[in-house]
Amino acid sequence: MSENKEIQQKKADPEDTPIIRILGMHKWYGEFHVLRNIDLNVRRQERIVICGPSGSGKSTLIRCINRLEEHQKGQIIVGDIELTNNLKNIEKIREEVGMVFQHFNLFPHLTILENLSLGPIWVKKVPKAEAVDTAMYYLEKVHIAEQAKKYPGQLSGGQQQRVAIARSLCMKPQVMLFDEPTSALDPEMVKEVLDVMISLATEGMTMIVVTHEMGFAKSVAHRVLFMDYGKIVEENEPDEFFNNPQHERTKLFLSQILH
Partner 1 sequence: MSEVLSNNNNSIHDDADNVKPPIASVGIIGWIRHNLFNGPINSIITLAILYILWKVVPPFVNWAFIESMWTSSGAECQQADGACWSVIYANFRFIIFGFFPHDQQWRPLVAMILLVTLLLCSQNRNNWKKSLAYAWIIGLVIMGLLMKGGVLGLPPIESSQWSGLPLTMLLSVFGMVAAYPLGIVLALGRRSTMPAIKSLCVIYIELIRGVPLISLLFMSSVMFPLFLPEGLTINKILRAQIAIILFTAAYVAEVVRGGLQAIPKGQYEAAEAIGLNYYMKMRLIILPQALKVVIPPTVGVLISAFKDTSLVVIIALYDLLKTTQSTISNPKWMGFSAEAYIFIALIYFVCCYAMSSYSRRLERELDK
Q: Which residues bind partner 1 (CB under 8 A)?
A: 66, 68, 87, 91, 94-95, 97-99, 101, 103, 105-109, 118-119, 122-123, 167-168, 171
Comparing CB distances to partner 1, the nearer of 68 and 136 is 68
Comparing CB distances to partner 1, the nearer of 97 and 113 is 97
Q: How many residues does the chain have?
A: 259
Work out the number of other CB atoms within 10 angstroms of the CB of residue 239: 11
Rg (CA), the chain: 18
* Least distance (Å) between residue 119 CB and partner 1: 4
* Least distance (Å) between residue 132 CB and partner 1: 16
* Least distance (Å) between residue 210 CB and partner 1: 15
* Least distance (Å) between residue 123 CB and partner 1: 4
Question: Residue 209's closest CA among 175, 252, 249?
Answer: 175
* Least distance (Å) between residue 102 CB and partner 1: 9
* Exposure letters 136-156 (e unless 16+ CB within 10 A, then b): bebbebbebbebbeebbeebe
Question: Residue 62's closest CA among 16, 100, 28?
Answer: 100
Which helix (H) or strand (E) segment holds residue 228: the answer is strand 223-228
Comparing CB distances to partner 1, the nearer of 29 and 107 is 107
Comparing CB distances to partner 1, the nearer of 169 and 214 is 169
Comparing CB distances to partner 1, the nearer of 69 and 82 is 69
Which helix (H) or strand (E) segment holds residue 78: the answer is strand 73-78
